[in-house]
Structure 1
Amino acid sequence: MPVEDQIREQLLNARPPPSSYDMPWVAMVPAPGSPQASRFPQCVDWILRNQRGNGSWGSAPGRDIGGEPWSLLGKDVLSSTMACVLALRTWGVGDEHVGKGLRFIGHNASFVTDDRSDTPAGFNVIFLGMLAHGIDMGLEIPIVGARILGFPTPMTPANVDAILRLRDTELKSMGSGTPTAAAAIHNYNGRALDYLDSLISRFGSSVPTVYPRNAYSRLRMVDTLEKMGISASFSGEINNILDSIYSSWLAKDEEITQDIATCVMAFRLLRLHGYDVASDELAQFSEESSFYDSVQGYLNDSEALLELYKASQVQIFEAEPILENIGSWSAKLLKQQLCSNKISRSVDPQEVEHVLKFPFYATLDRLEHRWNIEHFRTGSFHMLKSAYRACQVDEGMVALAADGFHSCQALYQQELQNLKSWAKEMRLDELEFARVMPLLSEARLAYGMKNILVTVVDDLFDVGGSKEELENLVTLIEKWDAHEEVGFCSESVKIVFRAIYHTSNLLGAKTAAASMAEAEWRMKGHVPSLDEYMAVTVPSFGLGPITFTSFCLLGPELSEQVVRSRDRFLNNLRTYEREEEQGKTNSVLLLDPRYGGSIEAAKRETTSALAASRRELLRMVVRDGGAVPRPMRQEFWNIYKVSHLMYSEEDGFTSTSRETLCAANAVVHEPLAWRLGGKIESPAAAASDKL
């Protein structure tokens, strides 16, 4: 099956895989009125069919478990194997399977005390209790010694009574059928059986590790596709999923609200996709104590913390103290976990460092796609009472994302060559004062040209031109077609004006010529081929000359102050020292007198104004924009992110910082590298051709 079809299947039917640990517990529940037979014989059959050749259930020594070394999951496999052995012995079937399972346990008993192996919740009690229960059943356990004696069995009467007092929703929130099955085994309780019946009815013999986590699995899949840059191919499926999640959000479905990671991931994705979700719904996580009081806090769950921090970053209103609080304490705990090397195995420490360093508004989408492709772990697992994978992703998906990235690189490289040729044709490379560093299809090329021209004009007015030259350029632009009447006072003015004049005319001429070709087709009744049609209609659509200027005209919600101020604030924070030396004004310098000459106080005020402007811009982008389509609004956000990258540490235009050049080369030139050490060669990247 093609990778795209596999992904669609997972999006539409996000069914968790069967659990080698939960299956035997459910299999041990006796049938009503027939305590010598299983109520769920299909689970017994599954156990008989799924033993590995080495005698284990789960994974096998010497193999990787979804990319994770066997040694990390040794205790989990021992637990699953022992539970399956007990289930088969309970019903007197599979003697050969039982023997092989016991031999496997004996050969790998060292994992019981191996600190390198991840420990399932309650392992020390449950596993040794299973061994003691097996001895009571007459099994010859190849692990002997007084250390296993005196440990309680997995379910004492007190444990069972506590479970039976739970409400139905609490039974579900325990995450699996195991504790409920244990209650049904020890005390034939109708409510526990009803829950197990619903589990089997939904999943057949495939009892999952965690239930219900369907919402989490689907959200994780959507997030993964977006992080790797391939979500556009599945937009219909993703929209359907988010519509469903939003309905559950409005209904306060416990599958959403009772799990930290699910709740905050739903909030983040829904808000960024334009759904109306209030941060008040996250009030239960506002304080640090809420984490420590949860199961995730008990397990020191780094993933939940990371999702909390990501959600805190999508502020769109000035007063969202809940998100501010969550961001503060979650960042603190993540940093503590990094420093103490306590990051959960399910999370890559490099990802935590990356997210803390680069909030989602501070990096480019293509840089994020590259980072996530190169650092993606196809089989990262979570460990509760047993190991499970929340998102079934294989190297096929990573390869699909890499293909898409390299295709974009090839296009960017061609666009860059076109910009270089244009700059040379316009003689912009002859201007000593100009910073001609083109980093940026029709719309992107037009924007790149205009961006370069704006930079050149800015440099002329800042440092390169005399008063006579500046006045001459202004007059030439006012006269436009009659510029010959004015004349050029210098060669620099001549180059700058002709670049502006010819480029503006060129973009308009291309659009007019393409529109004329379409008109001739219509008049002559000509039916073009698809290639011919696309070659003409893309420029005739007018993206080049109208896209970015039309944004400013079509969007009444995107006020001039919002569009301009955020980039200007970023620029001023990084250029105030240079501009002060040049005798120029700057918002930081203008604020300086208000704070008694304190530059640091003025910088803090500018940073605060920048944050407020960013929140307002994001709110206008993600919420209903009226007549302005979402893709247009999104471009303003993309431009902001470019500006943030350019001015994050210094003036990226003037300094040509190593970080800026590395970012540009990573997007345009450098081939991807697999995290596992292999290399994916870019079909168009040339190692010697750098910006």
Structure 2
Amino acid sequence: MDLSKVSIEALVKCINEEMMFSDIDPYSFVSPSAYDTAWLAMVPADSNQMEPMFKDCLDWVVNNQTKEGFWGEHDAHGNPTLESLPATLACVVALKKWNLMTENAEKGLAFIRANAEKVLGGYRHQFPRWFAIVFPGMIELARKTGLDLDFPDHLQELLTDVFFERQRILENENAGGPYPPLLSYLEALPSFYAINEEDIIMNLKGDGSLFQSPSATARAFMASGNKDCLAYLQSLVKTCTNNGVPPTYPMDEELVKLGLANQLQRLGLAEHFTRQTEDILTQVYKNYKRELPSEKSCSFTSVASQLYKDSLAFRLLRMHGYNVSPSSLCWFLNDRGILDHIEKNHEFFSSVMLNVYRATDLMFPGEYELEEARSFSRKVLEKVVTKGTGLDNDPFSKSSNFQRMIEHELSLPWVARLDHLEHRAWIEENEMNALWPGKTSFHRLSSAKNEKLVQLAVADYEFRQSIYKREMAELKSWCLKWGLSDMGFGREKTMYCYFASSSSLSLPYDSDIRLIVAKSAILITVADDFFDMEGSLDELTFLTDAVRRWDARGLSGHSKVIFEALDNLVKETAAKHLQQQGTDTSCFLKQIWVETFDSWLVEAKWSKSGSFPSTDEYLRNGMTSIAAHTVVLPAAWFLKSSVRNAGISLAAEYETVTKLTMLIPRLLNDIQSYQKEMEDGKMNYVLLYMKENPDAGIDDSIAFIRELLDKKRKELMKHALMDGLSDLPIESRQLHLSCMKVFQMFFNSSNRYDSNTDMIQDIQKAIYVPIDVGTGTWKPLVPLPSQSGSKKEFQTITSHRLVLRSFKYQNKRIVGYQASLPVARRAHVNFFIRPSCRLSFA
């Protein structure tokens, strides 16, 4: 067994044992808040004002200062974030109050003085609301405690801006204002902001907390001595022994579990924790069925966390086949006050709206509530993106990373993205351990636990890359052996076909499906091009007859090459299926290919004769000629819950999900290829629709097809995810969905399949380039294997500071890196590096 696979299995076992999925302690899964822990460390004992009441919290502060001198959040490179400034001041105040660790306190203050300008500089005139309230409060508290902050003069202007923004907020808002209410920041409000003990008591929750905020409740207890506040704080410390204090208490255990399940899925680890994820979702679904949408808490103080939870639950449950109603997510649409509130505070709700938007990816026909939720969330996100730096007002994001994430979601629909690359993007995302919003920062998955998950995700991804590179080489050898690599016409798409088959679904490591799908797609491309641009009508008719007879006698040239490769593929596929599943599929494999060749011949006759079929006639044939079912059905037989359980049917009996998988790619292809096909005199649904509707122009025809596509995609989504609508097992239906997503990726906004360069970066990331988890190590691209037959003699691929060049010189292909690096700040040196050189820049 491969050592990489052994290490992955060992790590999976270790994570299972350590995380105890069956009995999750939410407080061990969520990173503590240095800011809130410091506030509990400040609370004096009842009997002795000279000692802390919660010594464990003070000990946590003493033991959790970074080597750079700060407390609180840092990004993936270890750099302090905005949240670290008030957190560090709060921790320094706690140490000063008890005359502890003077050296540590000074180191913390030195960090503030040295780094505040750099951290604040990117937020000039755009300070987040929470920060404008909390940071001035911590400065005032530090000075009141007797700390000498001694900020440098050049920082004073920035600090003045922060204090000015606080004054504006206090003048324009009151304790019942925007979420979170000002009183939830009690610990940071200035002395002139009049809040008396009665205000505090009136706003205490039933558990004795002030908006379930540990820091605000600690301040409330110190101001009032309220016994309910004390009971809350004591319960908090008892529950979170040795772990520090979370940003919110009590936490929603179900939300923590959903966040963990979401993290496993987005990191590409779902297959390793199938049972654990199913256990989580089973329990969530039980509670979901007991809770009616009307019972949801719609107070402004809980809208963000409730919506965040509901969006995660909806997406995860629906993705796993649970019957969930749109009303479980869309309840907020029924309250105009909540909608106005979200729009008014769109920066704060940006991360929540992003998750609502993602949940609506899984929309079924007739779900108008979800359409409304998608439209509303998109409007909010577009408003956030338009503001640009205003993204920093979201306390849970780094503007540049978060903005890219939003733009990615808005610009490229989920149905056009491949799982493998989505997993990579999430692994490399700096803020990927964020769970749900809190008062001043995200609740985050524990760093120690998240690091192990990321370690496993990286190992899994790079082990897959090693498999994919090996299979890619095997595929190229197969193409060379059967003469498909250089036919002298058409498109050479070996890499594209394998990239699509390997990246679209997280198949087991040893799956035969990837190569079966890739070989089928390569053969389809070559044969389709032969029918479109090379063969005469007599040649095409003779080849189709040979496929019907399954007999190569009389074939020669390209026709013989195509048939012999096809015969090899069918024999290989049937033999593997007979070995694994005990069923002989030879007859059906031949039948499905006969249908495909027949449909190509029909199109060739239309094209060469200049006849025009009706749109209905064209679609009936076109659904077959796009050959999606020719790829997906044979592949589905190799899944563990094989289609054999439902029986192998002929074309007339194809399931609805299969017919939709045949129709959608045809429509997608026709939207992007009508111009070329119009020039070549070929049939296309866009053109035929205009012929049957003389008043319709190109735009009208495309709009009609897009509307039809939207409807059919929703139908496919429902048939793929929900039980009871198909006899096919869920794995087979999801393979159909994956096939549709591949075509959507190829034809979403252009014809990427016919481009020689559009896919290069994605192929690099999927198969060749090692993953970057934000360690600061720069990794260059590796050269792609050359593609013979490519009409593009020159390719440029840019990544970081390196350009990969591929060109022909004296009939030889040269591949290597060209770089231009600064020398002595003024000059630049250009150099060329052959692929054998291994480079790494720190």
How far apart are the structure 1 equivalents of 2:66 and 2:561? 77
Q: Please say which of residues 46-55 and 420-429 is displaced more in the overlay.
A: 46-55
For residue 480 of structure 1, the aligned residue among 543, 550, 555 is 550
**Structure 1 runs not aligned, ≥5 long:** 517-538
Q: Which residue, out of 273, 286, 296, partners 1:234?
A: 273
Q: Which amino acid aligns with 1:669?
A: Y
1:130-179 deviation per Cα after TM superposition (whole angstroms, max 9, x unaligned): 6767777xx5342599x99x996569773643443347369779342222
Instruction: For residue 54 of structure 1, report the CA deviation from its aligned partner.
Output: 9.0
Identify the match of residue 264 of structure 2 among 215, 218, 225.
Answer: 225
Structure 2 residue corresponding to 1:320, chosen from 344, 348, 367: 367
Distance in 2, matches of 1:196 and 1:604, equals 60
Query: How far apart, in 2, do the equivalents of 1:551 and 1:351 lie?
Result: 41
Question: What secondary structure does 1:341 align onto?
Answer: helix
* 1:170-569 → structure 2 map (5 Å cutoff): 174-204=211-241, 206-211=244-249, 212-252=251-291, 258-286=305-333, 290=338, 293=341, 297=345, 300-315=348-363, 317-339=364-386, 340-344=388-392, 346-347=397-398, 348=401, 349-377=403-431, 385-387=439-441, 390-393=444-447, 397-429=453-485, 431-438=487-494, 439-440=497-498, 441-480=511-550, 484=553, 487-488=554-555, 490-512=556-578, 543=638, 553=648, 558-569=656-667
User: Is contact 1:184–1:193 with CA below 8 Å preserved after alignment?
Assistant: yes
- Residues 76 and 120 in structure 1, CA contact (< 8 A), matched pair in contact too: no
CA contact (8 A) 2:40 2:54 kept: no
Matched, 1:645 2:758: no
* Aligned partner (choices 36, 39, 42) of residue 22 of structure 1: 36
Aligned residue identity for 1:182: R
1:55–1:97 Cα contact (<8 Å) kept: no
Q: Tell me by how many angstroms 1:247 deviates.
A: 3.5
In the TM superposition, residue 28 of structure 1 has moved relative to its aligned partner by: 5.5
Residues 47/196 of structure 1: CA separation in 2 closer, same or farther (3 Å cut):
same
Alpha-carbon distance in structure 2 between the residues aligned to 1:594 and 1:310: 37
| Contact 2:40 2:215 (C-alpha < 8 Å) held by counterparts | yes
Whole-Å separation in 1 of the counterparts to 2:351 and 2:257: 16
Q: Which amino acid aligns with 1:84?
A: A
Structure 1 pair 57–399 and aligned structure 2 pair: CA distance change class (3 A): closer
**Residue 116 in 1 paired to residue 121 in 2?**
yes
Supply the distance in 1 between the matched residues of 2:303 and 2:571 (Cα, whole angstroms).
Answer: 55
5+ residue gaps in structure 2? 1-6, 152-159, 168-187, 499-510, 583-633, 789-842
Q: Matched residues in 2 for 1:502 and 1:7: separation?
A: 44
Aligned-residue offset at 1:271: 1.6
* Paired residue type of 1:208: P
Cα displacement string for residues 474-514 of structure 1 (whole angstroms, at most 9, x for unaligned residues): 32233235x64xx33x5333333333233323333455578
Q: Residue 402 of structure 1 aligns to which amino acid in structure 2? A: V
Which deviations, in whole Å up to 9, do the C-alpha atoms of 1:194-223 show, x marking residues without a partner? 433442342235321223254444433333
Question: Scaled by the length of structure 1, what TM-score is found?
Answer: 0.79
| 1:111/1:121 CA distance change after superposition, 3 Å | farther
2:626 is aligned with 1:579: no
Q: 1:434 touches 1:456 (CA, 8 Å); kept in 2? A: yes
Write the mapping of 1:10-49 to structure 2, written as runs, cut at 5 A. 10=19, 12-15=24-27, 16-27=30-41, 34=47, 40-43=53-56, 45-46=58-59, 49=62
Counterparts of 2:120 and 2:420, CA distance in 1: 40
In the alignment, the residues of structure 2 paired with residue 650 and residue 106 of structure 1 have an alpha-carbon distance, to the nearest angstrom, of 54
State the shift of 1:587 in Å: 1.9
User: Alpha-carbon deviation of 1:678?
Assistant: 1.6
Deviation at 1:188, TM superposition (A): 4.0
Structure 2: distance between partners of 1:386 and 1:101: 23
Secondary structure in structure 1 of the residue aligned to 2:758: helix
Residue 75 of structure 1 contacts residue 112 of structure 1 at CA under 8 Å; is this kept in 2?
A: yes
Measured after TM superposition, the shift of residue 675 of structure 1 is 4.1
In angstroms, what is the RMSD of aligned CA positions? 4.4
1:44-123 to structure 2, matched below 5 A, reads 45-46=58-59, 49-50=62-63, 52=65, 58-59=71-72, 67=77, 69-70=79-80, 72-81=82-91, 83-85=93-95, 89=97, 94-97=98-101, 101=105, 104-105=108-109, 108=112, 115-116=120-121
Change (3 A) 1:153 1:106: farther
Separation (CA, whole Å) in 2 of partners of 1:362 and 1:636: 14
Structure 1: distance between partners of 2:576 and 2:84: 66
Offset from partner CA, 1:10-46 (integer Å, 9 cap, x none): 55444223333323444566777x5858895444653
Task: Give the distance between the partners of 1:420 and 1:403, measured in 2 at CA.
Answer: 26
Asked if the contact 1:426/1:495 (under 8 Å) is kept, the reply is yes
Q: Whole-Å Cα distance in 2 between the matches of residues 198 and 295 of structure 1?
A: 36
What is the TM-score normalised by the length of structure 2? 0.66
Aligned partners of 2:76 and 2:11: how far apart in 1?
Answer: 18
Q: Distance in 1 between matches of 2:638 and 2:787?
A: 28
CA deviation string 1:324-358 (max 9, x = no partner): 23323333333333343222362412222222222
Counterparts in 2 of 1:616 and 1:544: CA distance versus 1, 3 Å: closer
- Check 1:407–1:23 CA distance in 2 against 1; reply closer, same or farther (3 A cut): closer
**1:601-680 correspondence runs (5 A):** 601-624=700-723, 627-653=727-753, 655-679=754-778
Q: How many residues align?
A: 647
Greater mean alpha carbon deviation, residues 235-244 or residues 370-379: 370-379
Q: For the residues of structure 1 that align with 2:446 and 2:535, how far apart are their CA atoms?
A: 60
Contact 2:469 2:767 in 1 (8 A): yes
Deviation at 1:109, TM superposition (A): 6.0
> How far apart are the structure 1 equivalents of 2:33 and 2:421?
37
The percent of aligned pairs where both chains have the same amino acid is 23
For residues 419 and 545 of structure 1, the distance between their equivalents in structure 2, rounded to whole angstroms, comes to 24
Partner of 1:589: 687
Deviation at 1:384, TM superposition (A): 5.6
SS of aligned partner of 1:70: coil
The answer to whether the 8 A contact 2:310-2:328 is kept is: no
Kindly indicate whether the alpha-carbon contact (under 8 Å) linking 1:76 and 1:386 is maintained by their aligned counterparts in 2.
Answer: no
Match of 1:525 in 2: none
Q: Take 1:295 and 1:466, find their aligned partners in 2: how far apart are those partners?
A: 62
Distance 2:289 2:201 in 1: 30
